[in-house]
Chain A
């Protein structure tokens, strides 16, 4: 299986994890370990940057796992940029997952503010990973702004509805010059496998694992699904047909003299 490179880092695992919603931090640590993930995101607002013994940060000290602070809670570019700068100082990472959702109900990303923040942050050396709608034009605009990846949603965040935006995701993958990470809505391992089969570079999963009865077992299921999906993509999936093609009734005449 090919590795995935984003900015200066190379990943063996194409499964990224979110760390919210777990009932126990130990459960979260165990799920991250079992998933084989090498990139996990956590909400900056949950971390006490003033304390050197923050529970969440402690629980995320896992070998080979990179931290991806996110700006969840930010309502506009200005707030997100401020949060990213604080994260860079406190956590010594220039990676940031941009989450700008002024709407607290469905947590839908604000495309205008996200583009603005990406421009500002990329200019000062951040590795920007923006959470966005499955909007192919926005993806190209973000590329121009210097984004490291694009992270379109498969369905509303936390909805576990799968790849409702499939047609748009396919356009994005077809056109993208940066890795495409499917970020939200992936509810079952089969959704993750499907995303990988159609050519996503990685998927990010949170709710489906955190809220499972057995998060560790679910993390393993996602790990295997992502590997299976990626292998299938690399092997080249056979094309599917809507109707059976038993012979060539329209072109057979060419064979007859």
Chain B
């Protein structure tokens, strides 16, 4: 079986760290002006040395994004199916050791939430759950997908890592994209943050995008949880992963998300703080390195940042998100996975995008694929 592991082990954390922190200004200029960029240029562009060239990077980012994606932003919203979870992730509101009320939506409740999303104009939906394989396993997902399929043009999922066969089944049922974040590529740190549950298996998670690619899904979304470790080093490994996947599963699209650790009930504070300026630099580095990458910005980010990022590399945004199961209508009081920072309605976000001279796109896929 094809696996990212071989590529991954060619780079040590320290080696990548030292390279990033020894980049010089001249390297930044050289990388910025090359016509074909490689993963090494990405490393250069996310270095502290490149931070001084942020305005230039932003200009280039805007130009490249408009050329490839036009002046458009795709909008979607998450639908949280369940907050049951058997993992302990010390930063997550759904963590097993967190004493909260657990809830898994029934079929009727799923349809109630779906109707609320449809009323907001949502046509691309992201299904999210914790990891509780017995109650919220493949059969539950297939049932939910079957229910939702006729009502949404595009369905993606962000659930526990599945087997290749299970990915084939959800693909067959009508899922177009799967999001799975490695959280951190630092193996020891990963083990510290994920002490218990199936998720504690670093290698199984690392191989998950391979299984998704082999199952023929249209799109794979990757990301690291920004705040667990040094974002620069972690992001290099994330890009290395995308680089490998793009070459291996060449028919698949890739998107990257930027979950910055946000406060949630009963969780730890981030170890590494990532400022807005850093996040912008990272987004620009991704865009300049890889013009075709979809860049997704969630409601973890605040209004001001989101308003500006519309014309600075973003291609996809969630809006009006509720991060708790039943959050739209069924049980608005249940516990959230994380606090959203931008609480504007879908219409308000659409208006902001429009005012920036961009078209908010509600539909860019179809049920027949």
Which of A22, A43, A73, A160 lies in contact with B369, CB distance below 8 A?
Answer: A73
Contacts A23-B71, A158-B68 given; indicate if A45 touches B359 (C-beta within 8 A).
no
A141 interfacial contact with B, CB 8 Å: no
Interchain residue pairs with CB less than 8 A apart (5)? A24-B71, A45-B365, A83-B369, A104-B292, A211-B71
Task: Identify the closest chain B residue to A215 (Cβ).
Answer: B71
Per the 8 Å Cβ criterion, residues 92-119 of A in contact with B are 102-106
Bound-state CA distance A43–B246 (Å) is 24
A253 to B64, CA, bound (A): 61
Residues of A with C-beta under 8 A to B68: 158
Q: B366 an interface residue at 8 Å Cβ cutoff?
A: yes
Does B123 lie at the interface of the complex (its beta carbon under 8 Å from any beta carbon of A)? yes
> Which residues in B have their C-beta under 8 angstroms from that of A144?
none
**Which of A21, A23, A86, A104 touches B368 (beta carbons < 8 Å)?**
A86
State the Cβ distance, B67 to closest chain A Cβ, in Å.
Answer: 6
- Across the two chains, which residue of chain B brings its CB closest to A24? B359
Q: Is A174 an interface residue (CB 8 A)?
A: no
- Give B contacts to A, CB under 8 Å: 66-72, 123, 153, 218, 246, 250-253, 292, 354, 357-359, 361, 363-366, 368-369
Contacts of B354 in A (CB 8 A): 24
In order of increasing CB-CB distance, the 5 nearest A-B pairs are A21-B70, A23-B71, A104-B253, A105-B292, A23-B357
- How distant is the Cα of A24 from the Cα of B357 in the complex, in angstroms? 6
Contact check, A23 vs B363: say whether CB atoms are below 8 A apart.
no
Does chain B have a CB within 8 A of A147? no
- Residues of A at under 8 Å CB distance from B? 20-25, 43-49, 73-75, 79, 82-83, 86, 102-106, 158, 160, 207, 210-211
**A21 contacts B69, CB within 8 Å?**
yes
Structural contact, A22 and B368, CB atoms closer than 8 A: no
Whether A23 pairs with B366 at a CB distance below 8 angstroms is no
Partner of A104, one of B66, B251, B361, B369: B251
B123 lies within 8 A of A22 (CB):
no
Q: Are B70 and A45 in contact (CB under 8 A)?
A: no
A48-B69 in contact (CB<8A): no
Q: Are A45 and B364 in contact (CB under 8 A)?
A: yes
What residue of chain B has the Cβ atom nearest to residue A206's Cβ?
A: B70
A75 adjacent to B251 (CB under 8 Å): yes
A76 to B: closest C-beta gap in Å: 10
Cβ-neighbour of A22 out of B70, B153, B252, B292 (below 8 A): B70
Whole-angstrom distance between the Cβ of A168 and the nearest chain B Cβ = 23
A45, A47, A160, most chain B CB atoms within 10 A: A45
B355 to chain A, nearest CB (A): 11
- Note all chain B residues with C-beta closer than 8 A to A79: 368-369
A74 CA to B218 CA, complexed, in Å: 10
Q: How far is the CA of A102 from the CA of B357 in the complex (A)?
A: 31
Complex alpha-carbon distance, A202 and B288, angstroms: 34
Chain B nearest CB: distance from A116 CB in Å? 17
Residues of B within 8 A of A44 (CB): 366
Q: Is A160 in contact with B72, judged by CB distance below 8 angstroms?
A: no
Are B123's CB and A48's CB within 8 A? Answer: yes
Report the bound CA distance from A251 to B364 in whole Å: 66
Q: A24-B359, A103-B250, A104-B253 are in contact. List 13 more A-B contacts (CB 8 A).
A: A21-B70, A23-B71, A23-B357, A23-B358, A24-B357, A45-B153, A45-B363, A45-B369, A48-B363, A83-B369, A86-B368, A104-B251, A211-B67
Give bound CA distance, A179 to B68, whole Å.
28
Which of chain A's residues have a CB closer than 8 A to the CB of B366?
Answer: 44-45, 49, 73, 83
Task: Give the complex CA separation of A245 and B209 in angstroms.
Answer: 64
Complex: chain A residue closest to B356, CB-CB: A23
* Whole-angstrom CA separation of A103 from B247 in the bound complex: 11
Which residues in B have their C-beta under 8 angstroms from that of A21? 66, 69-72
- Closest B residue by C-beta to A105: B292
CB of A83 within 8 A of CB of B359, answer no
CB closest chain-B residue, reference A46? B364
- Residues on the A chain within 8 Å of B70, using CB: 20-23, 207, 210-211
Given contacts A20-B70, A22-B70, contact A103 B251 (CB under 8 A): yes
B72 touches A23 (CB 8 A): yes
Q: Which residue of B lies closest to A49 (CB)?
A: B366
| B66: A residues at CB distance < 8 A | 21, 211
Contact B67 A105 (CB under 8 A): no
Complex interface: chain A residues within 8 A of B67 (CB): 158, 160, 207, 211
Instruction: Give the distance in Å from the alpha carbon of A46 to the alpha carbon of B369 in the complex.
Output: 13
Distance in angstroms between the alpha carbons of A234 and B357 in the assembled complex: 41
Distance of A25 Cα from B67 Cα, bound (Å): 17
In the bound complex, do residue B365 and residue A73 qualify as a contact, i.e. CB atoms below 8 Å apart? yes
Distance between Cα atoms of A23 and B218 in the complex (Å): 25
A167 to B364, CA, bound (A): 36
- Closest Cβ of chain A to B311, distance in Å, is 9
A210, B70: Cα distance in complex, Å: 7
